[in-house]
Amino acid sequence: MSAEKRLLIYAPTGKDGRLLAGVLERAQMACHVCPQANDVFEEMAKGAGAVILADEALSIEFLKTIRRLLDNQPSWSDFPFLVLRQTAPDTPEMRSRYVKLGNVTLLDRPVRSVTLVSAATSALRARARQYEMREIDRRKDEFLAMLAHELRNPLAPISAASRLLSIPTLDREKIKHTSDIISRQVRHMTGLIDDLLDVSRVSRGLVRLDQGIQDAWQIVASAVEQVRPLMDARQHQLTVRDSPVSASIFGDQKRLVQIIANILNNAAKYTPVGGHIALTVDVDDANVVFTVRDDGIGMEPEVLERVFNMFAQGERSSDRTQGGLGIGLAIVKSLVHLHSGKITAHSDGLGTGSTFTLTLPRVADQHRAVENTLPEVQSASASHSILIVDDNVDAAVTLGNILEISGYDVSIEHSAKAALERVADTAPSVCLLDIGLPDMDGINLARQLRNRPNTASSLMIAITGYGQNSDRQKSLHAGFDHHLVKPVDLPQLLSILSSL
């Protein structure tokens, strides 16, 4: 049994120590009797669930030493003590000694066995929760360190690329190459942030599923298409075996693809270069079963137990060169639960590879899901004018340049006041409004623009860093037609504008 689950017993006189241990051991509790005070301090340092003391052990010297130990406890710890108290004398001096122990439970002697076992059980349960908090704190620290690392990685090439673009003699080919670098790194950072928001939304039950009947093979094909670049980059051999029987699943097409893609991504990251990954689909009357096997690094049992937990990333390997926050499987578990499915992981240990098995309910309807296609972007009409209001000058000017190249007549303001002054004389077809403006937020600005004749019928588009459902609802109630999250998805924006 772990040292952290032990009960330490210190009763300096008589046979109380052994008697107490006998009672507790019969209740299947691990005990360690400490003959001397120093033994208590040494055993506490190794880890313990609680200390049981006779009150005659609470000498001045003992309390001084124990107090030093307690004062140096980590933030998660509040060490429990059970003190067997003489019913008399009850003096202020003794009460002050109890207080110095901090987290103390007093048991009057002679104590009944059932009372002792119950108090010890409660102390051990409370201490176990403290050790769980220690583990959560450790994982959070690791997660935050990894988050900082992952966010800094794309900032380095973006910073270098921005300096490169400031060179006046840079040729067009290098400008395009540098621009591509910035775009890739921004997409990478956006993906990291989206993953974080996804975990938050899913864990709080805020994800709304756009459910319908989906074809299992189409889900697999879309997921494989997403992970193919990573598989190719790591020279993996991916084999896919579909069931000869067609099958449909009732669920959200985007989220089902995300589940399969995340499992495949996980396999790719933790399989050495040139490895083998297999995805099979099996169908029975009730379920569709997706199995992903790899010959990667595998998992030890303690890692396997928490592989789907949040803040458990980075424990399968010290090699973090593949990037990511390690929260993909936490998202998978929650999304599978929302689809009334089951996800399990298996590994025989380090170096043996891993197997993930996803089981989803099968539906009788075998009709294939209708594929969603983006509307074709039409060329802009010169008659359509766009007003951009954003206090971030760089963001506003960059977006304005792109829209001008696309054929729109663009004007830019950096405050709500300036925007209201401009629309007094002009009537823009579209208003792109940043929500976080310094003088008046975009919500109030939109309401005022809706109440002005020149802009009452303008297309209103919110641009913001907030993408929760509550934020979208605020935008809609304020009169916005669309809510776009920064960094703006340009194809989506151009698609919206093409409908004018």
DSSP state string for 1-26:
--GGGPEEEE--STTHHHHHHHHHHH
End-to-end CA distance of the chain: 71
Question: What pLDDT score does 300 carry?
Answer: 86
CA dist 125 and 4 (Å) reads 11
Q: How far apart are CA 117 and CA 129, in angstroms?
A: 18
- One-letter amino acid at 357 equals T
Q: Report strand pairing: 276-283 vs 287-294.
A: antiparallel
H helix runs in 435-488, sequence order:
442-450, 469-478
Which tokens sit at 21?
A: 């241990």
Alpha-carbon distances, residue 474 vs 123, 288, 467, 478, 489 (angstroms): 48, 40, 11, 6, 20
pLDDT per position in the chain (500 positions), as tens?
688 899 999 988 767 788 899 999 999 999 999 999 999 999 998 999 999 998 888 888 999 999 999 999 988 999 999 999 876 667 788 888 888 888 999 998 888 999 999 999 999 999 999 998 888 887 777 677 667 766 776 787 888 888 888 888 888 888 888 888 888 888 778 877 777 777 666 666 667 778 899 999 889 988 888 888 888 888 999 898 877 777 899 999 988 998 998 899 889 988 999 999 999 999 998 999 999 999 999 988 877 777 887 655 444 443 344 445 567 788 888 889 889 999 999 999 888 999 999 999 998 754 443 333 333 334 444 468 999 999 888 788 888 888 888 889 999 999 999 999 999 988 999 999 999 888 898 999 999 999 999 999 999 999 987 777 778 888 999 999 999 988 788 888 998 998 88
272: preceding bond cis by omega (within 30 degrees): no
pLDDT (0 to 100) of residue 325? 55
For the chain, give every domain's residue range: 3-134, 140-203, 211-363, 385-498
Beta bridge partners of 239: 278
CATH code that applies to domain 211-363: 3.30.565.10
CATH class of this structure's domain 140-203: mainly alpha
Domain 385-498 has CATH 3.40.50.2300: yes
Identify the pLDDT of residue 83. Answer: 93
From 262, 347, 356, select the one nearest 299 (Cα to Cα).
347
104 backbone dihedrals φ, ψ, rounded to 5°: -125, 140
Residue type, 197: L
Pick among 3.40.50.300, 1.20.1560.10, 3.40.50.2300, 2.60.40.10: CATH of 3-134: 3.40.50.2300
| Token code pair at residue 236 | 């993996």
Contact 44, 87 (CB under 8 A): no
Residue 402 identity (one-letter amino acid): I
CA trace torsion 453, 454, 459, 463 (10° rounding): -100
Name residue 475's amino acid: S
Exposed/middle/buried for residue 232 (C-beta within 10 Å: 0-12, 13-18, 19+): exposed
Model pLDDT, residue 160: 81
The stretches of 89-171 forming alpha helices (DSSP H) are: 92-101, 113-165
For 167, phi and psi rounded to 5 degrees? -75, 120
Q: Residue 418 contacts by C-beta under 8 Å, 6 or more apart in sequence?
A: 389
> Amino acid identity, residue 450?
R
